[in-house]
């Protein structure tokens, strides 16, 4: 069986995702599509709008055959680590190809850029250091160094968020020595950060979430921008998750910790622990807190990721133990179609790591972070929903979808 | 000037407290009365119904001249440590006498019991160990050992909660070699744990709080049981604090920590960290959690204190640093009358430790715990009240009361 991989957040699954999925299938003609999907917290350091289980349902209903979880230790990281984690899992699951969306839209440009970057690695990294010393954030410094190093070369535009991710995907494939064939598809209409709902039926996930929050979840207005199955899942959801719901917890965590304790959390560096406490004392909302905290040196996204790690109580030591390993110790299965189930049976003999269906009986440093993330994610819910939500993390078997009958079984 | 000391929680100040205060004044005829009062969390491991500032107002309005804070490191401890902390502060403040309520009501009985206990310390402690090994809680084992050791002696009944505290007060005076003269007054009508509102105008603080919570703060019903000034303070309060308001935070803290992290918190011993997590996963309210957690080995109060330390993020190391010191490094002033102010000026030349009016500029391990306690205490409030409440902890000068004009100045 031919397998295609995609790396996704589906926050929530919208028409742009469906377009990408259909184009990817047209390009590679796979028997099954495997999605590596982030769990409760996402790459920009935010809680997912709805839980990983709801997003798994959306994925299965929209044509994904297997959904596996990108562990917290990779899902909430800068592009490089995120990409390495995601591509490694696809590699473990023996996909033949994988396809990502990008602003550039041409895989040869990515291959050439990665190759050139390999050749000019030293001058590039010196240049990055120079720009960081000048007080720029890491992404800004990388972008400036990139322009400087490759000013006369035909390279991709690495100021575009999806190009950056794509670059790291292609680089990860090369570094892992993986036989996976990468493809890319140009993104249409809506940019990653766009906050508008366009008149066409494609809008960014950011715009869709913004609309849901601002209108106090009048979900009928997003109906035009999401596939019907997504809409039916959204209709059944009682509450959407956003940072403001976690502000009390974050305030508690930041102000009830000593600076020394804050420093143990992943990404809390360079004395920012004092600034975290000062800004938290003065703020009354998450937005206000972040606006005070923001400096030229730190991107908003990096600060949000830092807050995510504080919220989930994730220390530098814990993160190191997980990301230092060169190999995954498990893949967590969230859902599968009948075709997906068939594929997994087929590859079982070829793969060495366990595919986890029931986490209660499996102990692992990486999985421990996912469990904590689910607990932190659940706290703003009311009882008895919260207890049920936590229980689900430890008891829910993978969601099974019968694609012929179009229903969960 | 003659000073009388009292050791109080005033949670809230009720007619029984007023009776005790008046009797104490009659007995010792002081110029001023100094109350050492617990802050936001109390000896039974509970958040105070209302903040220390509101309770300071109640105390001043009802005839106390100086209110100082019993630091968190002593206020949330078993009787022995609580008593040592409170008596030490009274000693620092040069009181001539202090007076406590007790079931026994006769100071000679306390003196004799403390003396006998000193003489039979070894057999008593062996007996305590024996009963603990049999699976009894520490208080139960102490009580059994006490009966066994002093079965034929004329000693006080140390199964009574106020007798236990009184015993430790008198013992602390002796051990500190303090010249303070202790007095006791028999308690009338309402027992410490009584939950009934009696037809007389005296009810326990427990009964008053229970009534306020169960009737959803219909405060007119408690009017008969509290002095008028208490009632007027209670009328202005928007929300009363109780453990259930902190259940989400406690759940977050217990479930997002590793067992190793839980073990760093004060009083988390003997593998109870696993039990804390198991019971927390299964419970939906604080009451349910505590009921599951309770065993013969642990008293409800000890478990609540453990939860308080987890909630306030108080570690064994932090607590050790504060309680190991033989001397206080400060006394925190919460409020004073004109007479109180006069007294403080008078003793200033005799005392060596600073009396803190403004905590913002004072750094101390013990005070750090009080600051954290206030932050944890504030989290269930809504914004902007919560930010104002936290700001107050760092900026509020002592409350000044003009007893002649009967108003705050």
Name the DSSP letter for residue B34.
E
What confidence category does residue B190 fall into, taking pLDDT thresholds of 50, 70 and 90? Answer: low
Measured distance CA(B106)–CA(A390) in Å, rounded: 55
Q: Which of B13, B126, B125, B3 is nearest to B66 (CA)?
A: B3
Q: Which of A36, A31, A53 is nearest to A388 (CA)?
A: A53
Q: Is B168 annotated as a binding residue?
A: no
| Interface contact flag, A387 B284, Cβ < 8 Å | yes
| Interface contact flag, B255 A375, Cβ < 8 Å | yes
How close is the nearest chain B Cα to the Cα of A136, in Å? 32
How close is the nearest chain B Cα to the Cα of A84, in Å? 27
**Least-confidence region, from A23-27, A65-69, B77-81, B151-155:** B151-155
Q: What's the whole-number average pLDDT of chain B?
A: 92
The dihedral region occupied by A156, where left means phi > 0, alpha psi between -120 and 50, and beta the remainder, is beta
Measured distance CA(A247)–CA(A264) in Å, rounded: 20
- pLDDT, mean of residues A62-88: 96
Place of tokens 């003999």: A349
What confidence category does residue B297 fall into, taking pLDDT thresholds of 50, 70 and 90? Answer: confident
Q: Which of B102-111, B139-148, B205-214 has the highest mean pLDDT?
A: B102-111
Of the partner residues A248, A375, A383, the one whose CB lies closest to the CB of residue B256: A375
C-alpha pair distances (Å), A103 with each of A114, A205, B176: 16, 16, 76
What's the pLDDT at B278? 95
- pLDDT, mean of residues B246-254: 97
Measured distance CA(B258)–CA(B265) in Å, rounded: 12
Measured distance CA(A350)–CA(A112) in Å, rounded: 32
Determine whether A23 is exposed, middle or buried from the number of CB atoms within 10 Å of its CB (0-12, 13-18, 19+).
middle
Contact list in A for residue B249 (CB cut-off 8 A) is 249, 252
Measured distance CA(A198)–CA(B139) in Å, rounded: 69
Structure tokens belonging to residue B394: 């760092």
**Least-confidence region, from A109-123, A335-349, B213-227:** B213-227
* CA atoms lying within 13 Å on the CB side of residue A66: 31
Q: Residue B78 in contact with residue B84, Cβ under 8 Å?
A: no
Give the residues across from A332 on adjacent strands: A356
Measured distance CA(A320)–CA(A303) in Å, rounded: 19
What confidence category does residue B200 fall into, taking pLDDT thresholds of 50, 70 and 90? Answer: low
Measured distance CA(B405)–CA(A29) in Å, rounded: 89
Structure tokens belonging to residue A69: 């979880």
What's the pLDDT at B318? 94
**Least-confidence region, from A217-221, A275-279, B165-169:** A217-221
What's the pLDDT at A270? 85
What's the pLDDT at B328? 74
What confidence category does residue A137 fall into, taking pLDDT thresholds of 50, 70 and 90? Answer: confident
- pLDDT, mean of residues B86-106: 95
Q: What are the residue boundaries of the structural domains of chain A, listed by start? A: 3-103+185-238+326-408, 243-321
A33: pLDDT strictly greater than 80: yes
Hey, is the C-beta of A396 within 8 angstroms of any chain B C-beta? no
Q: Which of A372, A247, A379 is nearest to A312 (CA)?
A: A372
Architecture of the domain delimited by A3-103+185-238+326-408: 3-Layer(aba) Sandwich (3.40)
Of the partner residues B252, B281, B375, the one whose CB lies closest to the CB of residue A379: B252
The pLDDT tens digits of the residues spanning A179-224 come to 999 999 987 655 555 555 555 688 888 888 888 887 665 788 888 8
**Least-confidence region, from A202-206, A274-278, B272-276, B288-292:** A202-206
Element holding B107 (H helix, E strand): helix B107-119
Measured distance CA(A16)–CA(A226) in Å, rounded: 8
Place of tokens 């603080």: B205
What confidence category does residue B359 fall into, taking pLDDT thresholds of 50, 70 and 90? Answer: confident
Q: Which of B117, B114, B113, B147 is nearest to B130 (CA)?
A: B147
Task: Give percent above pLDDT 90 in chain A.
Answer: 72
Q: Euclidean distance between the first and final Cα of chain A, in Å? A: 23
A174: pLDDT strictly greater than 60: yes
Structure tokens belonging to residue A365: 């440093």
Q: Which of B406, B398, B404, B407 is nearest to B336 (CA)?
A: B398
What's the pLDDT at B89? 95
- pLDDT, mean of residues A13-19: 93
Of the partner residues A281, A312, A372, the one whose CB lies closest to the CB of residue B390: A281
Interface of B with A in 230-259 (CB under 8 A): 248-249, 251-252, 255-258
Structure tokens belonging to residue A237: 């959801």
Of the partner residues A284, A372, A384, the one whose CB lies closest to the CB of residue B384: A284
Phi and psi for A192 in degrees, rounded to 5? -55, -45
SS (H, E, C) chain A: CCEEEEEECCCCCCHHHHHHHHHHHHHHCCCEEEEEEECCECCCCCECCCCHHHHHHHHHHCCCCEEEEECHHHHCCCHHHHHHHHHHHHHHCCCCEEEEEECCCCHHHHHHHHHHHHHCHHHHHHHHHHHHHCCCCHHHHHHHHHHHHCCCCCCCCCCCHHHHHHHHHHHHHHHHCCCCEEEEEECCCCCCCCCCCCCCCCCCHHHHHHHHHHCCCCHHHHHHHCCHHHHHHHHCCCCCCCHHHHHHHHHHHHHCCCHHHHHCECCCCCCHHHHHHHHHHHCCCHHHHHHHHCCCCCCHHHHHHHHHHHHCCCEHHHHHHHHCCCCCCCEEEEEEEHHHHHHHHHHHHHCCCCEECCHHHCCCHHHHHHHHHHHHHHCCCCCCHHHHHHHHHHHCCCEEEECCCCEEC
What are the b/e assignments for A76-111, b being 16+ CB within 10 Å? bbbbebbbbbbbbbbbbbbbbbbbbbbbbbebebbe
A397: pLDDT strictly greater than 90: yes
What confidence category does residue B214 fall into, taking pLDDT thresholds of 50, 70 and 90? Answer: confident
Task: Give percent above pLDDT 90 in chain B.
Answer: 72
What's the pLDDT at A192? 55
Q: Which residue in A255, A261, A377 has the most chain B C-beta atoms within 10 A of its own C-beta, making it the best mutation to test that interface?
A: A255
What confidence category does residue B203 fall into, taking pLDDT thresholds of 50, 70 and 90? Answer: confident
What confidence category does residue A139 fall into, taking pLDDT thresholds of 50, 70 and 90? Answer: confident
* CA atoms lying within 13 Å on the CB side of residue A179: 6
B199: pLDDT strictly greater than 80: no
The crossing angle, in degrees rounded to 10, of helices A107-119 and A121-133 is: 80
Measured distance CA(A377)–CA(A245) in Å, rounded: 10
What confidence category does residue B192 fall into, taking pLDDT thresholds of 50, 70 and 90? Answer: low
Measured distance CA(B359)–CA(B244) in Å, rounded: 29
What's the pLDDT at A257? 96
Hey, is the C-beta of A287 within 8 angstroms of any chain B C-beta? no
Q: Residue A262 in contact with residue A273, Cβ under 8 Å?
A: yes
The pLDDT tens digits of the residues spanning B5-43 come to 999 999 999 999 999 999 999 999 999 999 999 999 999
- pLDDT, mean of residues A273-290: 97
| Better pLDDT: B310 or B219 | B310
Grouping H, G, I as helix, E, B as strand and the rest as coil, residue B208 is helix
- pLDDT, mean of residues B123-141: 88
Q: Residue A328 in contact with residue A353, Cβ under 8 Å?
A: yes
A111: pLDDT strictly greater than 80: yes
Hey, is the C-beta of A368 within 8 angstroms of any chain B C-beta? yes
What confidence category does residue B195 fall into, taking pLDDT thresholds of 50, 70 and 90? Answer: low
- pLDDT, mean of residues B151-157: 84
Q: Is B101 annotated as a binding residue?
A: yes
Structure tokens belonging to residue A374: 């689910």
Structure tokens belonging to residue A51: 């839980």
What's the pLDDT at B221? 82
Grouping H, G, I as helix, E, B as strand and the rest as coil, residue B283 is coil
B248: pLDDT strictly greater than 80: yes
């Amino acid at each position: 069986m031919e397998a295609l991989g995609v790396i996704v957040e589906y926050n929530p699954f919208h028409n742009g995702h469906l377009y990408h999925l259909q184009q990817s299938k047209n390009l590679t003609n796979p028997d099954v599509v495997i999605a590596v999907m982030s769990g409760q917290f996402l790459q920009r350091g935010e809680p997912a709008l709805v839980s990983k289980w709801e997003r798994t349902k959306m994925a299965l209903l929209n044509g994904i055959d297997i959904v596996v979880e990108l562990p917290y230790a990779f899902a909430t990281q800068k592009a490089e680590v995120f990409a390495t984690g995601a591509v490694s899992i696809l590699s473990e699951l023996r996909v033949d190809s994988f396809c990502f969306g990008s602003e550039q839209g041409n895989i040869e440009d990515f291959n050439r850029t990665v190759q050139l970057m390999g050749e000019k690695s030293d001058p590039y990294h010196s240049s990055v250091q120079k720009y960081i010393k000048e007080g720029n954030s890491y992404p800004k410094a990388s972008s400036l160094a990139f322009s400087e190093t490759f000013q006369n070369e035909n390279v991709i535009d690495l100021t575009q968020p999806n190009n950056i991710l794509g670059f790291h995907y292609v680089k990860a494939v090369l570094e892992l020595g993986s036989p996976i064939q990468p493809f890319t598809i140009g993104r249409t209409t809506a940019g990653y950060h766009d906050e508008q709902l366009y008149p066409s039926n494609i809008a960014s996930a950011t715009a869709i979430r913004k609309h849901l929050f601002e209108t106090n979840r009048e979900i009928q207005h997003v109906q035009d921008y999401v596939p019907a199955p997504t809409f039916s899942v959204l209709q059944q959801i009682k509450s959407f998750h956003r940072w403001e719901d976690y502000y009390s917890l974050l305030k508690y965590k930041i102000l009830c910790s000593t600076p020394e304790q804050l420093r143990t959390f992943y990404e809390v560096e360079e004395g920012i622990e004092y600034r975290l406490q000062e800004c938290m004392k003065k703020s009354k909302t998450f937005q206000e807190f972040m606006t005070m905290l923001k400096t030229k040196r730190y991107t908003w996204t990096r600060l949000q990721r830092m807050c995510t790690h504080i919220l989930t109580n994730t220390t530098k030591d814990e993160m190191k133990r997980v990301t230092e390993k060169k190999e995954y110790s498990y893949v967590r299965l969230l859902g599968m179609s009948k075709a997906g189930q068939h594929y997994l049976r087929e590859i079982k003999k070829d793969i060495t790591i366990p595919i986890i269906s029931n986490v209660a009986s499996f102990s692992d440093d990486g999985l421990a972070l996912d469990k904590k993330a689910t607990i932190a994610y659940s706290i703003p819910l009311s009882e008895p929903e919260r207890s049920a939500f936590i229980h689900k993390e430890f008891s829910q078997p993978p969601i099974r979808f019968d694609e012929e009958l179009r229903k969960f079984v």
